[in-house]
Amino acid sequence: MKNRVRYTFILPALILMTIIVAFPIIYNLYMSLHIWFVASGSGPHWNGLKNYIALLSDKRFWNSIRVTIIFTVGALGSEVLIGVLLALFFNRQFKGKDIIKTIFLFPIAATPVAVALIWGMMYNYDLGIINVLLKAIGLPPLLWLADPKWVIPALIITDAWQWTPLILLIVLSNLESLPTDPFESAKVDGANSLQVILYITLPMVKPAIIVAAMIRSIDAIKTFDLIYVMTQGGPDIASENLNLYIFNMGFSYFRMGMASTLAIVLFTIVMAVNVFLAVIRNRDVT
Amino acid sequence: MSKSYIKTGLFYIGIAAITILPLIVFLWMFLTGLKTQMDNLAIPPKIIFSPTLQNFKSVFAQNNFLKYLFNSFIVAVFAVAISLLFGLPAAYAIARFKMHKIGLTLLIARMIPFISYLIPWFIIFRKLRLVDTYIALITTHLIITLPFIIWIMVNFFENVPISLEEAARIDGCSYFQVFVRILIPVVRNGIFTSSVLGFIFSWNQFLFSLILSGNRTMTVPVAVFKFISYEEINWGGLAAAATTITLPPLILTLFIQKHMIKGLTSGAVKG
Amino acid sequence: MRKTVFLLVLLAAVLTSPLFAGGKQESAGTKKAASAGFDWKAFEGTKIKIMVNKHPWVDIIKPKIAEFEALTGMKVELSIYPEDQFRTKRTVEMVSGTSDVDVFMLMPGNALAQYVQSGWLAPLNGLMKSKQYLWPDYDLNDIYPAALNAGVREGKNYTVPLLLETSLLAYNKDIFAKTGVTVPKTMAELESVAKKIYESSNGDTYGITLRGKKASATSQWVDFLHSFGGEWLDSNGKAAVDSPEAIAATEFYGKLLRLYGPKSAPSNSWYESISIFMQGKAAMVYDASVFKPNYENPEKSAVSGKVGYAIIPKGPAGSIPHVSNWGLTIYSGSKHKEAGWLFIQWATSKAIALQGQLAGIPSARASAWSSPEFKSKDSSPEWTNASIASYKVASPLWNPPVIPVGECRDAMGSAIVASILGQDVKAASREAAKTIDKILANSK
């Protein structure tokens, strides 16, 4: 009885997800083993694992891996660092706290395409507000999106603007739900506030931080909208992450087999990172 | 005494300095939308200018924007509704019967790069003559909304005391009746929150709509590119359009702000 | 490899002959067209799907679609996408093999090889000869052969040109007068003029602005390449972008931008580049001739009325610009090919061509250039003369004549960006040549 009930409840969703998800996965796995240069007019033909082997010597592939790693580590790192610091800062009673929490929800809810468009304008070398402000405080203007050295930091700043609030809110709500006893006994023992934060607070919210990082890492690794709208991977390929490279391989170069191969690689990376984070978290929890 | 005043004052100045950062970008977006093209191209940027509603008017007049807003709305509402229909029972089963492994596999759908869905789906929808229909867009948006709604709702169902169900079942209710009559009303806050968040995620989706929509079903994140014209980028028009498309999610945020923080964080905190 | 375009012979004849002036004037509307006994209503009730990119030409025909619908009784569904999204969307439609689009825009120099080889286009020869479906007033011979022939592959016509554009050097006359320089005639002069303007303004005014965003930069870089005596590919079909001539051209292009151009050059496509010129921040721009209406629009441009136009300066191999065109083409899987052909004829008719010409879109029809209406209303004869001079010597090759055009352009774009950034041009060009050869080897 119980068994039948549980499957009646969950099967419709499972079947629906399988239909929507399974076909594309199987199709991609299958195509990743083929050469399919759509533009040549011929259909896909079998290539075994040679697509994967060809990637090993593809400089642009390694560039895209590098960009993906730098962007993800930079974005995730700054979001977690700033988010946690701000959460500690806000973790007290004060007037207007609810309003401020609401304000920090806005970037999370904003449409990424709109955010990217506006930041693209703000980064404009001649007309953008950011360079105007830099000049106003006596600093030289930066090329931002036009400079291979600055384009990824510029993208990270935008990403951090949009997603640091998520980390902040997750950690803050976790902080607020913590029991008060350990803090009181620590004070009795004469610990200073830095010691309390390092040895009591942070270990207690660590699981929440890791889960927040997991959520962000899935999205940061496969960032598309932001880069597509702001730089399209440029200048040259300085900000072309793996997802953009897949898009170009498939929709600019029409090499669908290779695009599928890259998609499988990206999927594997996302899975691996999540398994890694899950292992860390479980080790800590138990 | 005065020392603590200074301290409080500094604290609030700090808060104001931090809080201005998320706001100023939206403000700048709005102001850019109020400027003429010539004002937007002025160096240095004009702080004082005579605002014009022209950009906002042309967003609605020239580019059929109302229709695109409507399209986004329809797609998001149906994606959420279908996700609730399938997701609520699933979330309940996962919570009550501890099927967390199944819960995790649902997340895989989100981990697959969206781009790899595109070509296969396009082929299927073409064969079925469904490209540029709401059905195609809604189906693809389920990838985003369904796992998300299940994921959030599992936490809400787990918080419902099992005694509540058992009491009802002793009174002769079936599992299904318990679910509909007892549980759904209890978790309505969760349903509300996850629905609104699902709506926002669907609304903001770009890549699927770029490929699978057409003239009839184009959604706003794609339509915004109509303001990048052949000759030059129309900053005022783009900013006005960006303001318009991002306003609905922001307004929804105001309505559910308390629940939204809970919705976004409960999964993480309980994990 | 390089072919000179012999348009001017035809053009000059038409322009100078009093016989033609006024003689072939087209009545404005298309209503009169029905009179010739040609059945415009043959497909009454048919619905056709047209996919176009956002382009000034589309702005001309969009409000006239209703006229076409009234004339033919057909229903037209026009989908307009910005260029990048348009290319993506068009590809996906084709790759799926089940698209229901009937007519779309295509740049033959960009995608014809690929689209023909993939079998995505329907040959138009039958329709062009058809007694039943060729509108007697259409006058195929009025279309410049160079433009029409760009749409020919293996002896078959696939596209009908809706414009014929070239690239021109546009310059800000005010800045030239203030600095005391004249229009550069050679590449060396181009550099010295750019230098003088940049230095005498202490870097406030850029000497020149050009595209620097990888693939898009190659569209103008190619004219420098040809003028320096270089080629995309050698006679064996191998990459030649690392020849000494090509390296010199790439070096020169990058140097102009690095030393006298906008700092943001590596991320500038045509719209950023021409915007800088239109703000009066750069004294020169070398880009497509179709941008004249933008330069001259007082609402959007701070330099309107002050712009002069000239052909590309002479390099070691001469002045060699290129011509390119957007065309209309019919999808091979279309179920309404004949109806689509009626639309193409209407959209590329003399009347529409003249409307475009008057709005500053360089027509692919001789009659538009020679029309008295255009001549009397020509706001910038300097542009007209420079365009004609450019057509005369232009090369039709602006992309390598291969299928993976986009990939080759991206590969070369990397070398151009490297040159702008002041990196080792020789090494970057060798790398680009190697990549192109690899791409070509993988495309058989």
Per-residue model confidence as pLDDT tens digits over A181-205: 777 888 788 878 888 888 888 888 8
Q: CB–CB of A114 and B245 under 8 A?
A: yes
Q: Which helix (H) or strand (E) holds C307?
A: strand C307-310
- C153 plus C85 within the same structural domain: yes
* pTM, full prediction: 0.85
- The amino acid occupying position A263 is A
Q: How many other C-beta atoms can be found within 10 angstroms of the C-beta atom of residue C357?
A: 24
Q: Output the CA angle C175-C179-C180, nearest 5 degrees.
A: 115
* Nearest CB neighbour to B126, from listed C98, C279, C291: C98
Q: How high is the pLDDT of residue C327?
A: 95
Q: How high is the pLDDT of residue C30?
A: 46
Domain assignment present for C390 = no
- C410 plus C262 within the same structural domain: yes
* Nearest CB neighbour to B117, from listed A24, A132, A161: A24
- β-strand C47-53 against C103-106: which pairing, if any? parallel
Domain assignment present for C252 = yes
Domain assignment present for C182 = yes
CATH number at residue C224: 3.40.190.10
Q: Among the listed ranges A140-144, B229-233, C45-49, C122-126, which one has the minimum average pLDDT value?
A: B229-233
Q: Are C335 and C43 within 8 A, CB to CB?
A: no
Q: CB–CB of B226 and C95 under 8 A?
A: no
Mean predicted confidence (pLDDT) in B191-218:
88
Q: How many CA atoms lie within 13 A of B266 on its CB side?
A: 22
Which of B107, B91, B163, B102 has the alpha carbon at shortest distance from A9?
A: B91
Model confidence at C197, in pLDDT bands (50, 70, 90)? Answer: very high
Q: CB–CB of C118 and A145 under 8 A?
A: no
- C152 plus C290 within the same structural domain: no
- C127 plus C185 within the same structural domain: no
Task: Spell out the domains of chain B, with CATH numbers in brackets.
Answer: 63-270 (1.10.3720.10)
Q: Output the CA angle C273-C276-C279, nearest 5 degrees.
A: 150
Q: CB–CB of B204 and A102 under 8 A?
A: no
- C346 plus C331 within the same structural domain: yes
Give the neighbours of chain C: at least 3 Cβ pairs within 8 Å. Answer: A, B
- C182 plus C122 within the same structural domain: no
Distance from CA of B139 to the nearest CA of A (A): 8
Of C381, C405, C421, the residue that ends a domain is C381
The strand pairing partners of C282, in sequence order, are C206
For the cut 80, the answer to whether the pLDDT of residue B269 exceeds it is no
For residue range B71-111, what is the model confidence (pLDDT) as tens digits?
Answer: 999 999 999 999 999 999 999 998 888 877 777 777 777 77
Q: How high is the pLDDT of residue A2?
A: 67
Q: CB–CB of A5 and B175 under 8 A?
A: yes
Domain assignment present for C105 = yes
Q: CB–CB of B32 and A118 under 8 A?
A: yes
Q: Which two tokens stand for residue A163?
A: 């997603």
For the cut 60, the answer to whether the pLDDT of residue C19 exceeds it is no
Q: How high is the pLDDT of residue B232?
A: 57
Domain assignment present for C9 = no
Q: Which two tokens stand for residue B251?
A: 């307004």
- Buried residues in A27-54 as b, exposed as e (16+ CB within 10 A): bbeebbbbbbbbbbeeebeebeeebbee
Rounded to whole angstroms, the Cα distance separating C30 from C41 reads 13
Model confidence at A107, in pLDDT bands (50, 70, 90)? Answer: very high
- C309 plus C420 within the same structural domain: yes
Domain assignment present for C389 = no
Interface contact B99, partner A, CB < 8 A: yes
For the cut 80, the answer to whether the pLDDT of residue B259 exceeds it is no
For residue range A78-104, what is the model confidence (pLDDT) as tens digits?
Answer: 999 999 999 999 988 888 888 888 999
Domain assignment present for C347 = yes
- C289 plus C429 within the same structural domain: yes
Domain assignment present for C315 = yes
Q: Which two tokens stand for residue C235?
A: 């006679």
Specify the 3-state DSSP secondary structure of C314. strand
Burial class of residue C29 in the structure, from the number of CB atoms within 10 Å of its CB (0-12 exposed, 13-18 middle, 19+ buried):
exposed
- C120 plus C173 within the same structural domain: no
Give A-chain residues touching B252 at CB under 8 angstroms: 109
Distance from CA of B6 to the nearest CA of C (A): 46
Q: Are A155 and A231 within 8 A, CB to CB?
A: yes
What percentage of chain B carries pLDDT values higher than 70?
A: 92
CB proximity under 8 Å: C 89-108 to A:
91-92, 95
- Buried residues in C227-266 as b, exposed as e (16+ CB within 10 A): bbbbbbbeeeeebbbbbebbbbbbbbbbbbbbebbbbbbb
* Nearest CB neighbour to B264, from listed A89, A166, A266: A166
Mean predicted confidence (pLDDT) in C31-59:
81
Mean predicted confidence (pLDDT) in C177-194:
96
Q: Among the listed ranges A151-155, C233-237, C250-254, which one has the minimum average pLDDT value?
A: C233-237
| Number of independent structural domains in chain C | 2
For residue range C341-386, what is the model confidence (pLDDT) as tens digits?
Answer: 999 999 999 999 999 999 888 999 999 999 999 999 888 899 999 9
- C105 plus C193 within the same structural domain: no
Mean predicted confidence (pLDDT) in C422-444:
92
Interface contact C77, partner B, CB < 8 A: yes
Q: How high is the pLDDT of residue C379?
A: 82
Q: Are B241 and B65 within 8 A, CB to CB?
A: yes
A→C contacts (Cβ < 8 Å), by residue, are 37-41, 124-126, 143, 145-148, 231-232, 234-237, 248, 251-254, 256
Give A-chain residues touching C213 at CB under 8 angstroms: 234-235
Interface contact B87, partner A, CB < 8 A: yes
Q: Output the CA angle B199-B203-B207, nearest 5 degrees.
A: 130
Say what the ipTM of the complex is: 0.87
- C140 plus C68 within the same structural domain: yes
Specify the 3-state DSSP secondary structure of C273. helix
Task: Spell out the domains of chain A, with CATH numbers in brackets.
Answer: 59-285 (1.10.3720.10)
Q: Are C325 and C165 within 8 A, CB to CB?
A: yes
What's the 3-state SS for chain B? CHHHHHHHHHHHHHHHHHHHHHHHHHHHHHHHHCCCHHHHCCCCCCCCCCCCCHHHHHHHHHCCHHHHHHHHHHHHHHHHHHHHHHHHHHHHHHHHCCCHHHHHHHHHHHHCCCHHHHHHHHHHHHHCCCCCCHHHHHHHHHHHHHHHHHHHHHHHHHCCCHHHHHHHHHCCCCHHHHHHHHHHHHCHHHHHHHHHHHHHHHHHCCHHHHHHCCCCCCCHHHHHHHHECCCCECHHHHHHHHHHHHHHHHHHHHHHHHHHHHHHHHHHHHC
Range of the structural domain that residue C360 is part of:
20-164+324-381
The strand pairing partners of C239, in sequence order, are C233
- C296 plus C405 within the same structural domain: yes
Q: How high is the pLDDT of residue C179?
A: 95
Burial class of residue A179 in the structure, from the number of CB atoms within 10 Å of its CB (0-12 exposed, 13-18 middle, 19+ buried):
exposed
Of C352, C381, C410, the residue that ends a domain is C381
Mean predicted confidence (pLDDT) in C130-156:
90
What percentage of chain B carries pLDDT values higher than 90?
A: 24
